Amino acid sequence: MKNYLFVASILAIVSCSSPSTKNQSGTIAKDFISDPSSLEQLDTNKPLAYLQAVAAAQANKTVSFSKANINEVFEIAKEYKGCIIITGNHTAVKLESLDDCKQSGSWGACMPKGTGYIKKGKLVKQEDYINNIIGRPDDQERVAYFFK
């Protein structure tokens, strides 16, 4: 129930930031999975928060993860068409290829390629192995959103 209220609150706040975001909510997550650069086209001043709220509401499965369960996230991702990982309120990345991965000492896992954005005042596009995008394991909230 807490998650539902949180998601509803975020959607309400973000949707008020721009009149045209209301029309975008139906496809933003799917658009990001198809083409991460679609995030740059959103008519809102908080595109990552908006993506996070919509992904939370529309995902077929959601998993909070850390170093302890990162390999489980990648196993689950094999069963879905798309996966978006969001770190805090500043990073969103789409998994590109589970087959093309690079071992990460800090995560203790083979981290796949991804494409996404980090908010550094403005959105900065990132294309790399996801450990270089989502950062080192720490106490930040990291959530994987899975879509059929």
Sequence-ordered list of residues with C-beta below 8 angstroms from that of 15, at least 6 positions apart, any chain? 21, 22, 25
- According to the model, what pLDDT value does residue 25 have? 55
Tell me whether strands 91-104 and 82-87 are parallel, antiparallel or unpaired: antiparallel
Give which of 41, 146, 49 is closest to 92, Cα–Cα. Answer: 49
- Reading phi first (left if > 0) and then psi (alpha if -120 to 50, else beta), residue 95 is in beta
Helix (H, G, I), strand (E, B) or coil at 136: coil
Tell me whether strands 109-120 and 122-129 are parallel, antiparallel or unpaired: antiparallel
Query: Per-residue confidence of the chain (148 residues) as pLDDT tens digits?
Result: 444 434 444 444 444 444 344 445 568 999 999 999 999 988 888 999 999 999 999 999 999 999 999 999 999 999 999 999 999 999 999 999 999 999 999 999 999 999 999 999 899 999 999 999 999 999 999 999 999 9
- According to the model, what pLDDT value does residue 3 have? 47
Give which of 90, 41, 44, 72 is closest to 144, Cα–Cα. Answer: 72
Tell me phi and psi for residue 58, to 5 degrees: -110, -10
E-strand ranges in the chain read 61-64, 82-87, 91-104, 109-120, 122-129, 142-147
User: And the tokens for 120?
Assistant: 């550094």
Sequence-ordered list of residues with C-beta below 8 angstroms from that of 11, at least 6 positions apart, any chain? 25, 53, 54, 57
